[in-house]
Structure 1
């Protein structure tokens, strides 16, 4: 329970810091880069480091990077299906889930083994 409270507090502080940075930067399209997910990830990695050590955090960090690459592939495919193929949002996102799954599993197998 204490881990969740610490994650909440640390994540909230980092989100606030990123929001302050976002207010300074232009264009405002950077707002998504400084959303809650990176803040919560940093808080989670910090707590994992204090509890499990550097080796564990290295594996978790690598997994987060691979997950973000798979999400980028998914997002690209969704955009292409929405804009070029003019699919509905539901149809495009459901179809692109297969891309995300293949990318995530493929990256894990290729890079981690």
Structure 2
């Protein structure tokens, strides 16, 4: 039960700090960016270091980076399929999901992460 309370508090503090940072920056569209993924990732890594040690957190951070790169590739592919190939949203996202999986697992295999 204590772990959940710590996760809640650490996550809340980190999310709030990033939300305030995003609120200060211009344009305001950055607020959502700073309130979401970076804050949750930092809170998760902090808990991982505390519970499992730095080596485990390093593996988790490699997986996060691979997922972020794969998400960027996914986003570009979706945009190209929607704009250039004139596909509808559902087929474009489903096709791009396979691209995301290939890139994410390929990067993890490349850096020696656990699959």
TM-score, normalized by length of structure 2? 0.88
Write the mapping of 1:93-104 to structure 2, written as runs, cut at 5 A.
Answer: 93-104=93-104
Kindly report the root-mean-square deviation, in angstroms, between the aligned alpha carbons of the 2 structures.
1.5
Contact 1:82/1:89, CA 8 A, preserved across alignment: yes
Structure 2 match to 1:20: 20
Q: Which has the higher helix share?
A: 1
Structure 1 match to 2:69: 69
Contact 2:10/2:43, CA 8 A, preserved across alignment: yes
What is the alpha-carbon distance in structure 1 between the residues aligned to residue 31 and residue 78 of structure 2? 20
Structure 1 match to 2:8: 8
Contact 1:18/1:34, CA 8 A, preserved across alignment: yes
Contact 2:22/2:35, CA 8 A, preserved across alignment: no
What is the alpha-carbon distance in structure 2 between the residues aligned to residue 35 and residue 80 of structure 1? 27
Matched length: 113
Alignment partner of 1:43 is 2:50: no
Contact 1:11/1:36, CA 8 A, preserved across alignment: no
Deviation at 1:35, TM superposition (A): 2.7
Contact 1:81/1:92, CA 8 A, preserved across alignment: yes
Show CA shifts across 1:27-84 (max 9, x none): 1232342132221211111111111111111111111111111111111111111122
In structure 1, the gaps of 5 or more residues are: none
* SS of structure 1 residue aligned to 2:87: coil
Contact 2:21/2:31, CA 8 A, preserved across alignment: no
* SS of structure 1 residue aligned to 2:29: helix
